[in-house]
Amino acid sequence: MFKLSPISIYIHIPWCLKKCGYCDFYSYVSKEIIPEKKYIDNLLKDLEKDLLLIEKRKINTIFIGGGTPSLLNKESIKKLIYGIKERAFVSHKAEISIEANPKTLEFQRFVDYKNAGINRFSLGIQTFHTHLLKKIERTYDSQEAINIIKETKKIIHNLNLDLMYGLPNQRLEDALLDLQYAIRYNPSHISWYQFTIEPNTSFYAQKPKLPNDDMIFKILIQGEKLLKKSGYKKYEISSYSKKNYECQHNLNYWNFGDYIGIGCGAHGKITQKNGKMIRTIKNKNINDFLNGNYLSSRNVISQKDKIFEYFMNVFRLYKPVFKKHFREKTNLNEIVIEKSIQKAIQSGFLINKINYWNTTKKGKNFLNLLLEIFLK
């Protein structure tokens, strides 16, 4: 019988104070009072329907993302966490994370979130330079960002800081100074990723001037040296952590684990005992969702998509990809990807060993080209 592992829950909170010009995540700008109570009630009903698909599998991680989840008050977060634990088998060691915006939090709310069961905070800092924050349309300044880190550190140790490099008109010294600021406050985890402009954003319609590729490469090389020297290990393309503080929720994604997605626009991937994988997508229309119409689509993932999605995730990690893991997570034999593997090896992207594959330095540097082989 196909082996089923523990599962994660992703919860989408769709409201924001302002839609940033580069953001392509699904969100609403909050101009009125948020219908928190009604949304939480519907989130829990949405969860109940998806729990029927997982047959009492243990929940190892919960991630509340958005949007801006920290807009919610303490009663809403408490009701949400307690409601999940009443309905699902949540591990007593579960990592429970919430994303937060420096503009929406105050110290007492941190305490209330922690008391409700949140044990990991992820602060969307992006940069400590006020002039760059303005360029990317964030709603706070550098001092507010610093203050929020100091306050959060008083009550919780498991803290991630989100930072971006390659911002409009950003210099090498700007990017390195961002890392130096972050390191000074000793977070357990730093997510440091390149600023990109996605379709369907206002920045895509009117593109700002970004640093050239040579500058991006210099920032990446020097930034990674600084992070390594400061005790942060790179375990994924854009993730750096202190020992034993890797993000367990994201590791589940990158290891092609299963997850329930609840809330407006949330995606889920749930493997059945027969090995079939179901992709769920929830309704993006907030009014429909609040009226109980949760599901937008539910489909079985094709073999082709399953293979591509598997490698799209596991190749992000800085560790070998074991062939046994491929078989367990996809319910496929590696013979179905033999031609793709050989092409990746011939291109210098992969090394083939008896029990595992490993990406070369070239493979990591040209990850999109490597993934194209498996897409075809």
Report the C-alpha dihedral over residues 104, 109, 115, 116, rounded to 10 degrees. -50
270: left (phi over 0), alpha (psi -120 to 50) or beta: beta
User: Residue 130's pLDDT is what?
Assistant: 94
User: Residue 103's pLDDT is what?
Assistant: 77
Cα-only R_g, the chain: 21
- The domain limits of the chain are 7-252, 303-376
Whether domain 303-376 has CATH 1.10.10: the reply is yes
User: Residue 315's pLDDT is what?
Assistant: 97
pTM: 0.94
Report the distance separating Cα 317 and Cα 307, nearest Å.
16
Instruction: Decide which of 3.40.50.150, 3.20.20.70, 3.30.70.1170, 3.40.50.300 is the CATH code for 7-252.
Output: 3.20.20.70
Q: What is the mean pLDDT of residues 41-58?
A: 95
Neighbours of 331 (CB within 10 A): 17
Q: What are phi and psi of 128, to 5 degrees?
A: -100, 5
**pLDDT (tens digit per residue) in 327-355:** 999 999 999 999 999 999 999 999 999 99
Residue 362: pLDDT over 50: yes
Q: What is the mean pLDDT of residues 10-39?
A: 75
Residue 4: pLDDT over 80: no
Report the distance separating Cα 356 and Cα 367, nearest Å.
18
Contact partners, residue 217, CB within 8 Å, separation at least 6: none
**pLDDT (tens digit per residue) in 30-44:** 656 789 999 999 999
Residue 356: pLDDT over 80: yes
Name the token pair of 68: 């801006």
Q: Are strands 7-13 and 15-16 parallel, antiparallel or unpaired?
A: unpaired
User: Residue 68's pLDDT is what?
Assistant: 86
Residue 325: pLDDT over 70: yes
Residue 22: pLDDT over 80: no
Mean pLDDT estimate for the chain: 92
Q: What is the mean pLDDT of residues 40-54?
A: 96
User: Residue 109's pLDDT is what?
Assistant: 83
**pLDDT (tens digit per residue) in 162-209:** 999 999 999 999 999 999 999 999 999 999 999 887 777 777 667 788
Residue 237: pLDDT over 50: yes
User: Residue 110's pLDDT is what?
Assistant: 85
**pLDDT band per the 50, 70, 90 thresholds, residue 127:** very high
User: Residue 207's pLDDT is what?
Assistant: 79
User: Residue 1's pLDDT is what?
Assistant: 45
Domains 7-252 and 303-376 share a fold: no
Q: What is the mean pLDDT of residues 305-309?
A: 96
**pLDDT (tens digit per residue) in 91-125:** 999 999 999 988 766 667 889 999 999 999 999 99
**pLDDT band per the 50, 70, 90 thresholds, residue 273:** confident
**pLDDT band per the 50, 70, 90 thresholds, residue 376:** confident
Q: What is the mean pLDDT of residues 130-155?
A: 91
